[in-house]
Amino acid sequence: MSKLRFRISISLDGFVAGPSQSVENPLGIGGTRLHEWAFALAVTRAQHGLEGGEVNESTPVVEESLANIGATVMGRNMFGGHPGPWDAKEPWNGWWGVDPPFHHPVFVLTHYAREPLALEGGTTFTFVTDGIEAALEQARRAADGKDVSLAGGARAAQQYLAAGLVDEMEINLVPTLLGSGERLFDGVGDDLHGLDLVRTVAPPNVTHLKFARR
Amino acid sequence: MSKLRFRISISLDGFVAGPSQSVENPLGIGGTRLHEWAFALAVTRAQHGLEGGEVNESTPVVEESLANIGATVMGRNMFGGHPGPWDAKEPWNGWWGVDPPFHHPVFVLTHYAREPLALEGGTTFTFVTDGIEAALEQARRAADGKDVSLAGGARAAQQYLAAGLVDEMEINLVPTLLGSGERLFDGVGDDLHGLDLVRTVAPPNVTHLKFARR
């Protein structure tokens, strides 16, 4: 069966975004420090249409996390722009420009209905107003046998984790402190729902901890 | 110079003790799960006067953390018993019985003055009422050229970390969630004061992350 796979970068003190997230600063203050390891990699740069970058111990981890993904689910805060109803005249179309790096169907959790948005390169955004299980079901159908990626942000991840719906979780632990911001595990409780640590990869600047059901 | 070295076990969601700490349950609900990896080891059992136990990938990490320690500092909550003034008739003498596993001078941060307490096996507890720097200075003198261990708990560790006084930090990350309790990094801010990740050891049930100044 199609798995729900989640990967995220997190600080040593448990934050996945810094404080004061905004349109200008979507990762919050200091939040980009969580992603420096990834943006140094050729595989990540290529995903965003950029040349250059490194090949190192993290490369196969990122390649694995990108492989066999047929659809994505994400929260409204990750899709971004602003909270509340969509602007009817100039609706927010995501952070990623006309050719987002997904290249497959993306399902956005929101309380506000909206027509689907088709962008270049095969990325379509479908807005789901009836909850995390409905979004996952639609994503699984769209993935057509492949897996579904849970892209975040923190609140969407918390809901899927608390419900025990995540099948694989790749924690990219960055050895830095953010001090405040969005905590990944807030409200998730004390149950990993059978997710065990199954593999650790430890380059100098990030620790990759893979959790899965045995 | 004598270093201040700190090692602690922490859950994936950042807690070093579970909720509802008490005399009966000093690690809080679920807190013992953070220490199962350590108590399976022969080196830890021997430290507590017990036979048996395993030798595995964690053994050299624990041996390193125990080596060359001449004194310990700890917070009042870790010394334990109760908050507030000491009971004049039956003062709390620590969790560890008549022969505590330290075997060297221990300095306890407290707001309540008290005469030193000498127990068996070379462990003496000295109660320090004039703050973390004074306690560290006394511990360094007592350590006589060796290093000082910062034993915890969370609030004592937070003060030393925030002040930039920790020279080495061994984080034993346990792949479990506690959901609530005492967070290690609460109030520490976003500055590790030059502590970089210098070594990772990754057995299946715990991830040892060593931070030090380069």
What is the C-alpha separation between B92 and B118, in angstroms, rounded? 13
What is the C-alpha separation between A100 and B139, in angstroms, rounded? 57
What is the Cβ-side half-sphere exposure of residue B89, based on CA atoms within 13 angstroms? Answer: 0
Q: Which of A171, A175, A177 sits opposite B209 (nearest CB)?
A: A175
Per-residue pLDDT of chain B (214 residues; tens, 9 = 90+): 899 999 999 999 999 999 888 877 888 888 999 999 999 999 999 988 899 999 999 999 999 999 999 999 999 999 987 888 999 888 899 999 999 989 999 999 999 999 999 999 999 999 999 999 999 999 999 999 999 999 989 999 999 999 999 999 999 999 999 999 999 999 999 999 999 999 999 999 999 999 999 8
Q: Which two tokens stand for residue B179?
A: 């959901």
The angle subtended at Cα B38 by Cα B32 and Cα B42, nearest 5°, is 135
pLDDT of residue A69: 97
Beta strand pairing status for A124-128 and A117-118? antiparallel
Instruction: Inform me whether the pLDDT recorded for A103 exceeds 90.
Output: yes
Q: Which two tokens stand for residue B78?
A: 């870790």
pLDDT of residue B20: 86
What is the C-alpha separation between A109 and A209, in angstroms, rounded? 27
Contacts of A184 in chain B (CB under 8 A): 13
Are residues A13 and B188, on separate chains, in Cβ contact within 8 Å?
A: yes
* Cβ-proximal residues to A28 (8 Å cutoff; 6+ apart), any chain: A17, A18, A19, A20, A21, A178, A181, A182
> Phi first, then psi: what are they for A42, rounded to 5°?
-60, -40
Give chain A's mean pLDDT: 95
What is the C-alpha separation between A27 and B144, in angstroms, rounded? 47
The angle subtended at Cα A176 by Cα A100 and Cα B15, nearest 5°, is 105
Are residues B200 and A197, on separate chains, in Cβ contact within 8 Å?
A: no
Mean pLDDT of A104-113: 97
The dihedral through the CA atoms of B181, B187, B190, B196 has a sign that is negative
Report ipTM (2 d.p.): 0.92
Q: Which fold has domain A4-213?
A: Dihydrofolate Reductase, subunit A (3.40.430)
pLDDT of residue B40: 96
**Which among A6, A11, A13 is the top mutation candidate for probing chain B, defined by the most B β-carbons within 10 Å of its own β-carbon?**
A13
* Cβ-proximal residues to B113 (8 Å cutoff; 6+ apart), any chain: B127, B129
Give the tens place of pLDDT for each residue, A47-83.
888 999 999 999 999 999 999 999 999 999 999 878 8
Mean pLDDT of A28-51: 93
pLDDT of residue A127: 97
Domain ranges of chain B: 4-20+28-84+100-208
Q: Which two tokens stand for residue A173?
A: 């632990």
Which of A108, A107, A128, A125 is closest to A116 using CA atoms? A125
| Three-state SS letters, B70-92 | EEEEEEHHHHCCCCCCCCCCCCC
Q: Which two tokens stand for residue A27?
A: 């990762």
Instruction: Inform me whether the pLDDT recorded for A200 exceeds 90.
Output: yes
Burial of B42 (0-12, 13-18, 19+ CB in 10 A): middle
**pTM given for the model:** 0.94
- Please answer whether residues A210 and A200 qualify as being in contact, where contact means their C-beta atoms are separated by less than 8 angstroms: yes
* Cβ-proximal residues to A44 (8 Å cutoff; 6+ apart), any chain: A38, A53, A62
Architecture of domain B4-20+28-84+100-208: 3-Layer(aba) Sandwich (3.40)
pLDDT of residue B79: 94
What is the C-alpha separation between B55 and B63, in angstroms, rounded? 11
pLDDT of residue A214: 85
B68: left (phi over 0), alpha (psi -120 to 50) or beta: left
- Please answer whether residues A198 and A212 qualify as being in contact, where contact means their C-beta atoms are separated by less than 8 angstroms: yes
What is the C-alpha separation between B79 and A123, in angstroms, rounded? 57
What is the C-alpha separation between B103 and A85, in angstroms, rounded? 64
What is the C-alpha separation between B131 and A118, in angstroms, rounded? 61
pLDDT of residue B83: 84
Q: Which two tokens stand for residue A39?
A: 């943006």
Interface of B with A (CB under 8 A): 12-14, 30, 171, 173, 175-180, 183-185, 188-192, 196-197, 200, 202, 204-205, 207, 209, 211
String of DSSP letters for A30-87: TGGGGTHHHHTBHHHHHHTT----B--TTHHHHHHHHTTEEEEEEEHHHH-S-SSSPP
Q: Which of B179, B180, B190 sits opposite A177 (nearest CB)?
A: B190
What is the Cβ-side half-sphere exposure of residue B124, based on CA atoms within 13 angstroms? Answer: 14
pLDDT of residue B25: 82
Contacts of A204 in chain B (CB under 8 A): 197
- Please answer whether residues A183 and A15 qualify as being in contact, where contact means their C-beta atoms are separated by less than 8 angstroms: yes
List C-alpha distances in Å: B128 to B73, B101, B108, B109: 10, 20, 6, 5
Residue entry with tokens 């270049």: A120
